[in-house]
Structure 1
Amino acid sequence: MNKNKKPYHKQDLNFVFGKKNYTFMFIGLAVIALGFILMSGGGSTDPNVFNPDIYNFRRIRLAPALVLIGFGIEVYAILLNPNKK
C-alpha cells in the first residue's frame, strides 16, 4: 500500500442558499408568473375589430409592476444571508 495516500474525508454538502433564500425565491417566481399571466390575453377573435381591453389598467400598470416587484424579491432572496439569525 502507498503510505502517501491521504485518508478519506467526507465531502461537505453545504448548499449556497438556505431554506429562507429558497422560500423567497419561490415567492418571487410566483409573483413574476402572476404578472405575466395578468399581462396575457386581450386579443380579438376577429383581426379587423380593435379590442380596447389591451390598454386597460391591469395590462399596462399592474402586471409590469408585479413583474418588477418579483425581480426585486429575487434579488433580495439572492442577497439574503442564510446564516444570520
Structure 2
Amino acid sequence: MADKKQPSANQETGNELVFTKKNYQLLLISIAIVALGFVLMMGTTDIYDTRKTLIAPLVVLLGFGFGVYAVLKK
C-alpha cells in the first residue's frame, strides 16, 4: 500500500494558533501607541491646543492602523 502521511501534532489535536508571537507583539505595540495618543489628549491646558486637537488624534489613528496591520500580517 501507499505510504499514508502522518498528520502533525497540531492537526491531530486542532490546536493550531491563528496568530504568531510576532502578531501578538505588534498588537501590544499598537495598543501602546493608542494609549500614548489618549495620554497626549489629557491635561488641563487650553482645549484648543495643537497637541490635543491635531497630534493626539493622529497618534490614535496611527495606533489603530498599526493594529489592523498587526492582525493582517502573516
Q: TM-score normalised to the size of structure 1?
A: 0.68
Candidates 47, 50, 54, aligned match of 2:47: 54
Which residue of the partner structure matches residue 41 of structure 1? 43
The structure whose residues are more often helix, as a share, is: 2
Distance 2:70 2:33 in 1: 13
Q: Flag structure 2 segments of 5+ consecutive residues without an equivalent.
A: 1-11
Gap runs ≥5 in structure 1: 1-9, 43-50
Q: TM-score, normalised by structure 2?
A: 0.77
Moved over 6 A (4+): none
The answer for the alignment partner of 2:5 in structure 1 is none
Greater CA radius of gyration, 1 or 2?
1
Q: Deviations over 1:9-43 (max 9, x none)?
A: x513221100111111000000000001111122x
Aligned counterparts of 2:68 and 2:20: Cα–Cα separation in 1: 15
